[in-house]
Structure 1
């Protein structure tokens, strides 16, 4: 990944965020279950990459385009037991792959 220019990587990240804002039907629990990351993760990674200059809440708001509470109220549906199981399995796989 270090071979990709930061300007190009930033543009791709912005496009991903724009896509996720457009696809409010893609629930975080499903993203976690399938890919092991969600909008919250992206916001948290922004926070971590900022070395503390951006709060976790501000990072998430940058991804959601609104507060997380607003997004939940407007777009989040209740998770099914199956979705939660798949998400938990995916989180466990993330930990295993990271060696945690």
Structure 2
């Protein structure tokens, strides 16, 4: 059963859940994007793309870098330098096997 929420409540709760997801991903910088992609089919970059799409559908132009900075909490290049490691051959193979090939 779905609770009786106003559109504003639903928006506010979704926004709070999104902020908590971003905080969780920030706390778990040890989890690589390729791990997220291989396990769940999305990563931090996907979230940034979705955020950018939502902004643009509301008439707000965001660059890819601006959207990524919102999701990563810092410029993407800084996050990469601090946290990103080289993907293992196993991770790369799993990514290739799981990714949609129509993109």
TM-score for the superposition, normalised by structure 2: 0.82
1:19 matched to 2:24: yes
| Residue number in structure 2 paired with 1:86 | 94
| Residue number in structure 2 paired with 1:30 | 35
After the TM superposition, which residues 1-100 of structure 1 pair with which residues of structure 2 at under 5 Å, given as runs? 5-51=10-56, 52-92=60-100
- Write the deviation string for residues 46-72 of structure 1: whole angstroms up to 9, x where unpaired: 111101522221111111111111011
The unaligned stretches of length 5 or more in structure 1 are: none
Q: Which one has the largest radius of gyration?
A: 2
TM-score for the superposition, normalised by structure 1: 0.84
Q: Report the RMSD for the aligned CA atoms in angstroms.
A: 1.9
Is the contact between residue 36 and residue 87 of structure 1 (CA under 8 Å) also seen in structure 2? Answer: no
The unaligned stretches of length 5 or more in structure 2 are: none
Hey, what's the Cα distance between the residues in 2 that align with 1:49 and 1:90? 26
Hey, what's the Cα distance between the residues in 2 that align with 1:89 and 1:31? 14
